[in-house]
Homo-oligomer: A and B are copies of this chain.
Amino acid sequence: MTAPPTRRSDATRAAILRAARERFAADGYERATIRAIAADARIDPSMVMRYYGSKEGLFAAAAEFDLRLPELADLPADRIGEALVRHFLDRWEGDGTLVALLRTASTNPGAAERMRTIFADQLGAAVARTVADPATAARRAGLVASQILGLAFTRYVVRLPPVADADPAELIAWVAPTVQRYLTGPAPR
């Protein structure tokens, strides 16, 4: 047990992180300035540097993200698609971090790398544990990612009206079969 329980600065650190996530989500990496983040958190820009070293360091801390995937094996095999789509919509409807990552991955190589890691490790691993054929597991996970990220991109970033305005239940009903097929459907050819 090495940890000194709480430092006085923890509240500030947390405020910075919260403001950073909001700004990164709203504006992307380059337009989210340290000065603006500091203003939101009501502290001095230099505090950000003290605690996170640099803008890159701040982003790395703000973009820590756990998909919190459920154990797919515990679900009824024919409901995995539905459960996954529902889970993702819930997950990022309440947490701007993934939108921040999505916006930033477009221009920042580090963020793109982070995104690759998250989806390869977390989603890839969960899929590998459930899919029968290990040879196609990675491809299946990639296809699921393409539909899930496409949904997030059109709904939260571009805000294409027919997708952004739909209620979650309808989106789930439409998209779940796609994900289900990518996971458990027969491989083509």
Contact = CB atoms under 8 A, between A and B. Distances in A.
Contacts of A181: 177-178
A105 B150 CA distance: 13
A29 B139 CA distance: 31
Given A106-B28, A107-B27, A178-B178, A146 B163 contact: yes
B188 A174 contact: yes
A157 interface: yes
Number of copies: 2
A156 B148 CA distance: 16
Chain A interface mostly helix, strand, loop or mixed?
Answer: helix
Interface stretch (A40-48, A54-62, A115-123): A115-123
A30 to B, nearest CB: 4
Contacts of A120: 160-161
Nearest to A173: B188
A119 B120 CA distance: 29
Contacts of A160: 115-116, 119-120, 142, 145-146
A157 B119 contact: no
22 contacts: A30-B30, A30-B31, A102-B106, A103-B107, A105-B157, A119-B160, A139-B166, A139-B174, A142-B160, A142-B166, A143-B163, A143-B174, A143-B175, A145-B150, A145-B160, A146-B150, A146-B163, A147-B147, A149-B153, A150-B153, A173-B188, A173-B189
